[in-house]
Amino acid sequence: MASNSSLITNNRKRIYYAPKYWQFDPIYQTNVKLFIKDLLNLKTVQFIEGSKITHGFFYGNHPIQEVDIIATVTAFDINEGKKYTKYTLDDGSATIEFTDFKNEDGPILEPKFDRGTVIRVIGKIKDYNGKREIGNSYGRMWTEKDPNAELLRWLEILTLKKDVYSRPFILPKRTTTINNVSDVEEVPPISEVPESVPNTSMSSSRIFERMKNSDNQSSYTEEAFTDLITRYIYKNNLTRFSIVRIRQSPELNEFAKKVAINQYPCPKPNGRQVAALFAKALRLLVLEGFLNYGDYHKISYCVDLLFVDMVREWKVQM
């Protein structure tokens, strides 16, 4: 698709601004953090300005220039003649190739990173020989030593998608004054706005806190019990479940009994007290936006769409 105008649309009426306007989108000035599967699905749009042809990559209608990803090296290929190493990177959603060019003289004898290494890379997104890849010529790649880096990045991306990337780029009105007469140039609004993400009060960082806090089970409180349920959902890759499924866990039942003992002056809690703790914890996760009710009678639950991919993909390190 090509255009000589300041903006173009596709057949779904989404507006893409020409390159001269990209600088006004704050996202264009950043190293965009997305899943690899998102990078592979970026839309390519062609612009014609005079004799110049420019291609742009878009997430929604946001122009994307540089990306920042955390992924695991699954393969590498050294090209000694052209002095670059091509790495295959996997972040759990898809794979993409990352080309690291060597600036110094001399052949490349070994890769910077071996297979299985978790690394962070920053580079420009591009298409080469019909394939989407990331290019780097400035050595912006590092080993990630934090064992929680991949999980934290997933949480960060989900938050950015909800709070930033889902909002369309709309160029503001421009006002010029000639001979004391104000002239307002109207820029057409976006005609297609992405579906809004359900409003949720639970931040991604709070999810990670629940996961982390569940390792410390020395404090038998309702908050600690809710943390443990959250971890149980992730550990078992649950995206839709009944309350019976949760109640069948020996680990959760034992913890709930200890919470009840702390709350009630009795040596042995009864079934009603334990059931009330389960119901309260699940209701809290619904209020926070992590869970939704799965049926009219509120006896089944489903993970909110904002977090469901992370539950399916993330593997808990036990």
Q: Which residues, listed in sequence order, are joined to residue 88 by a DSSP beta bridge?
A: 75, 97
Residue 118 bridge partners (DSSP)? 72
pLDDT digits (tens, 9 = 90+) for 307-317: 776 666 655 44
How many CB atoms are closer than 10 A to CB 4? 10
pLDDT digits (tens, 9 = 90+) for 150-178: 888 988 998 898 888 988 888 766 534 44
Residue with the larger pLDDT of the pair 267 and 43 = 43
**C-alpha distances out from residue 240 to 92, 196, 231, 299, Å:** 21, 22, 15, 11
Chain-centre distance for alpha carbon 79: 32
Beta strand extents in 171-225 (DSSP E only): 174-178, 181-185
pLDDT, tens only, 22-74: 988 989 989 999 999 999 999 988 888 777 888 899 999 899 999 999 999 99
pLDDT tens per residue, range 91-139: 988 999 998 877 666 666 788 899 999 999 999 999 888 899 998 756 6
What is the biggest distance separating any 2 CA atoms in the chain, rounded to whole angstroms?
A: 87
Both tokens of residue 255?
């913890």
Domain 204-313 has CATH 3.40.50.720: no
- Name the CATH superfamily housing domain 66-149: Nucleic acid-binding proteins (2.40.50.140)
105 versus 1: the higher-pLDDT residue is: 105
Mean of pLDDT over the chain = 78
pLDDT of residue 57: 93
pLDDT of amino acid 190: 32
Q: Report pLDDT for 176.
A: 40
Determine the pLDDT at residue 143: 93
Residue ranges of the domains in the chain? 7-63, 66-149, 204-313
For residue 192, the model assigns a pLDDT of: 35
What integer pLDDT is reported at residue 81 of this predicted model? 61
Q: Which two tokens stand for residue 260?
A: 């009840």
Give the DSSP letter of residue 20: G
Q: Are 177 and 183 in contact (CB under 8 A)?
A: yes
**Three-state SS at 292:** strand
Each residue's pLDDT tens digit, 188-218 = 333 333 333 333 344 555 666 666 665 555 6
Tell me, what's the pLDDT at 207?
Answer: 66
**pLDDT for the residue 6:** 54
Q: What average pLDDT does this structure show over 222-226?
A: 89
**Higher per-residue confidence, 187 vs 233:** 233
Instruction: Provide mean pLDDT across the span 273-293.
Output: 86
Predicted TM-score (pTM) of the model is 0.57
